[in-house]
């Protein structure tokens, strides 16, 4: 299984020295559920993107501290790359920032969450049948976000949500899947982010988030679901209904 990571950010050096960078977190999570998988990393934030002829079994857009609706030169190039990959019939999964970006590119709305920051672990309920392995009733993921997908693209199917984040996971045709939480996160990294951003949170939210890190999370199961979606035998592109945001 050959996968590509479109990397949109890096962990801070204070964490990366002991806990690794985002590619390390993704590799560890993927290896736990698909030891045969190989991950190629493209640092999109530094304008490193795959060549036009690159075809892999699936792609993942990482999280980032940036706004998916922001105006950054590297992000415009990334969006052009994502459109090309989809038009070629390749499949893409988005995590947090990547989830928001995929929704926004296809006509969804993304913005600051009216309920504020999501930190620690959050629980989600399944809204639709999802293919592949999954926890039975719902799932719990580590999260860190102040933006959300406020409304989904027209043809999207919501897979999972909560009162806090109604559009926590979605699919679009058979090309796109997104999840707001972070299957690749570890409790240690979540704790690092919570402590680093402590000034943004009320005392009660901070304490609740720290306490929630004691709960089991389903990062491996959700990563398995993403990989199953990316590598399922169906293939296509426009013949399966994919159209780019301009309707071509």
Which positions ≥6 away from 77 have C-beta within 8 Å? 44, 47, 49
**Annotated catalytic sites, by residue?**
96, 182, 184
Nearest one of 134, 139, 142 to 214, comparing CA atoms: 142
Phi, psi of 203 (to 5 degrees): -60, -40
Task: Report the candidate in 10, 12, 8 with the shortest Cα–Cα distance to residue 193.
Answer: 12
Q: Is the dihedral of CA 160, 69, 27, 11 positive or negative?
A: negative
Q: How many CB atoms lie within 10 A of CB 104?
A: 20
């Amino acid at each position: 299984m050959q996968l590509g990571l479109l990397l949109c950010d890096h962990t801070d050096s204070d964490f990366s020295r002991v806990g690794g960078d985002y590619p390390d977190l993704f590799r560890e999570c993927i290896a736990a559920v698909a030891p045969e998988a190989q991950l190629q990393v493209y640092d999109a934030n530094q304008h490193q993107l795959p060549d036009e002829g690159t075809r892999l079994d699936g792609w993942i857009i990482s999280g980032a501290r940036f706004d998916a609706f922001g105006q950054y030169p590297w992000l415009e190039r990334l969006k052009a790359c994502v459109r090309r990959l989809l038009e070629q019939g390749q499949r893409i999964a988005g995590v947090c920032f990547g989830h928001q970006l995929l929704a926004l590119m296809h006509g969804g709305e993304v913005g600051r969450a009216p309920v504020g920051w999501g930190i620690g672990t959050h629980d989600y309920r399944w809204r639709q049948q999802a293919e592949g392995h999954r926890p039975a009733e719902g799932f719990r993921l580590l999260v860190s976000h102040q933006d959300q997908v406020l409304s989904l693209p027209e043809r999207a199917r919501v897979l999972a949500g909560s009162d806090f984040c109604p559009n926590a996971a979605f699919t679009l045709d058979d090309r796109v899947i997104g999840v707001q939480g972070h299957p690749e996160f570890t409790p240690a990294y979540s704790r690092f982010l919570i402590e680093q951003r402590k000034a943004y949170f009320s005392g009660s939210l901070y304490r609740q988030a720290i306490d929630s890190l004691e709960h089991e999370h389903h990062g491996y199961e959700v990563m398995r679901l993403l990989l199953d979606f990316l590598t399922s035998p169906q293939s296509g592109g426009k013949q399966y209904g994919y159209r780019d945001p301009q309707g071509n």
